[in-house]
């Protein structure tokens, strides 16, 4: 890759598996602060199997959908609930660290966006695996609660102007293409 070239891909499931588990088992939308996962112990054999998934070996660009890694979610359900939460949290953190292996050089710092930045257990796991710290995006002045909405607004403007929204370096498409459908009210 050329210096400064765009490089994007999904590192893993982020909070999807944890959130789905918490809804199904604890009737909560997410593990608030990672408190529940902190009471359990992760199952190393499930993490090893998860990280052996061919997705992690594929060279970016690459993308996932919400249904990916259903096998891990199913296997975790056989554990004690707190252990399952710890396992799914560690899997998400380990996927991020595995994703860093695809970068041309190690990042100077790891900034975390999305709900995971509120999960103290996940942030601590990331820090231990990095031998450093993972920081919320607020550390550089970004609003982590608005970042995704801002990204989708940016994409909407590009669609409205007929500009590409997907590029070879982000999704692996052969050429830059637009996407989305403009739906007028009424």
CB atoms within 10 A of CB 125: 24
CB atoms within 10 A of CB 40: 20
The reply to whether CATH 3.40.50.1950 applies to domain 16-140 is no
The domain locations on the chain are 16-140, 146-186
What gap in Å lies between CA 94 and CA 122, rounded to an integer? 10
Answer yes or no: are the C-beta atoms of 29 and 83 closer than 8 Å: no
Per-residue pLDDT 10s for the chain (186 aa) are: 667 777 789 999 999 999 999 999 999 999 999 999 999 999 999 999 999 999 999 999 888 988 899 999 999 999 999 999 999 999 999 999 999 999 888 888 999 999 999 999 999 999 999 988 899 999 999 999 999 999 999 999 999 999 999 888 888 889 999 987 888 898
Where would I find the H helices in 77-183? 81-100, 120-130, 147-160, 168-171
Q: What are phi and psi of 177, to 5 degrees?
A: -135, 155
Answer yes or no: are the C-beta atoms of 160 and 141 closer than 8 Å: no
Helices (H) and strands (E) in the chain, counts: 7, 2
- Cβ-in-10-Å burial (0-12, 13-18, 19+) of 123 comes to buried
Q: What pTM did the predictor assign?
A: 0.89
Cα 123–Cα 129–Cα 134 angle in degrees, nearest 5:
35
Cα 171–Cα 175–Cα 180 angle in degrees, nearest 5:
65
């Amino acid at each position: 890759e050329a210096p400064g070239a765009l490089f994007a891909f999904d590192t893993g499931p982020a909070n999807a598996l944890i959130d789905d588990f918490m809804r199904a088992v604890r009737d909560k939308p997410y593990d608030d602060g990672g408190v529940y996962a902190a009471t359990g112990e992760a199952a190393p054999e499930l993490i090893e199997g998860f990280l052996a998934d061919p997705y992690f070996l594929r060279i970016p660009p690459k993308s996932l959908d919400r249904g990916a890694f259903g096998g891990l979610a199913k296997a975790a359900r056989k554990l004690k609930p707190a252990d399952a939460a710890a396992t799914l949290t560690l899997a998400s953190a380990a996927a991020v660290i595995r994703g860093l292996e695809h970068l041309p050089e190690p990042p100077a710092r790891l900034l975390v966006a999305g709900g995971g930045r509120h999960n103290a257990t996940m942030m601590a796991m990331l820090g231990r695996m990095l031998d450093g710290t993972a920081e919320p995006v607020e550390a550089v002045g970004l609003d982590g609660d608005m970042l995704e909405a801002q990204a989708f607004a940016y994409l909407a403007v590009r669609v409205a102007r007929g500009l590409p929204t997907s590029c070879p370096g982000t999704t692996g498409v052969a050429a830059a293409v637009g996407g989305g459908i403009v739906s007028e009210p009424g």
